[in-house]
Amino acid sequence: MLTFAPLHGPVGVAATAVTWLADALHPLAGGAATAAAIVGFTVVVRLLISPLTLAQVRGERRRAALAPQVRDLRRRYADDPARLQGELFALYRSAGANPVAGCLPALLQAPFLIVMYRLFSTDEGGTGLLDERLAGVPLGWHVSDGLGGAAGPLFGALLAALVALAWWSSRRARAVAAVDAEAGTPTGGSGAAVLARLVPLVPYLTVVAALMVPLAAVLYLVATTAWTAAEQAVLRRPRPMPAG
């Protein structure tokens, strides 16, 4: 799976970065240095794409601010859907609120996720990363390999963390969907309604993925999901009302 040649270079770079981080962290983390390096690498990746996340949040706030004008347009052109769509696009364009900009952070993460999946699912290049251990469990160990010894508590704790993070992220996704529904995006309709129901379920896919990938990849999923939750809590916290 995902074994085509264009991945060799990026996977090699990722392996080198994780190995370097593990060597640097070994004096502090000891036998858990590689696991700590995976978390550190995840943080670096998320910092690289954080400007897009900031742009996404700014776009959401612009769309929310346009809600009164959107409601007015909907009333005025309720009997002319084509004209309504055109007016909504013009309104968003003039306000610099791109309704599809929110997809960019997720799209940009996709190549990183593929590379990390490949790195932590195979021992490409003979790096030996999957032979390293956390709490005595090899980083290449899967849930399907057995939960005896330390594997059960370790996987149990990580899966519980993913479930809790997925639940929290799902609530946030519903809140964002509610804001978009109030603001009214130009891409509304039955398709948007279906999407609004599906988006809150997406965070739970990380739990499903964790059941199929090795421990190293589970660590990556927990780290990146926790980063997302913290990022959203900070960036989307309620803004104080201006003094009166």
- pLDDT tens, position by position, 42-55: 898 888 888 877 77
Worst-scoring range by mean pLDDT, 10-19, 121-130, 153-162, 221-230? 121-130
Half-sphere exposure of 223 (CA within 13 A, CB side): 21
pLDDT of the residue at 156: 95
pLDDT tier at 21, thresholds 50, 70, 90: very high
Give the pLDDT confidence score for residue 97 in this predicted structure: 63
Indicate whether this model's pTM tops 0.85. Answer: no
Average confidence (pLDDT) over 132-148: 90
Does 194 score more than 80 pLDDT?
Answer: no
- Is pLDDT above 60 for 4? no
Q: How confident is the model at residue 33 (pLDDT cuts 50, 70, 90)?
A: very high
The two tokens of residue 27 are 């004096």
Strand-strand pairing, 133-134 and 137-138:
antiparallel
What is the distance between the alpha carbons of residues 188 and 190, in angstroms, rounded to a whole number?
7
- Mean of per-residue pLDDT scores for the chain: 78
Task: Identify the weakest region by mean pLDDT among 86-100, 138-152, 184-198.
Answer: 184-198
Alpha helices in the chain (DSSP H): 8-29, 33-65, 67-76, 81-95, 104-121, 151-183, 190-198, 205-210, 215-235
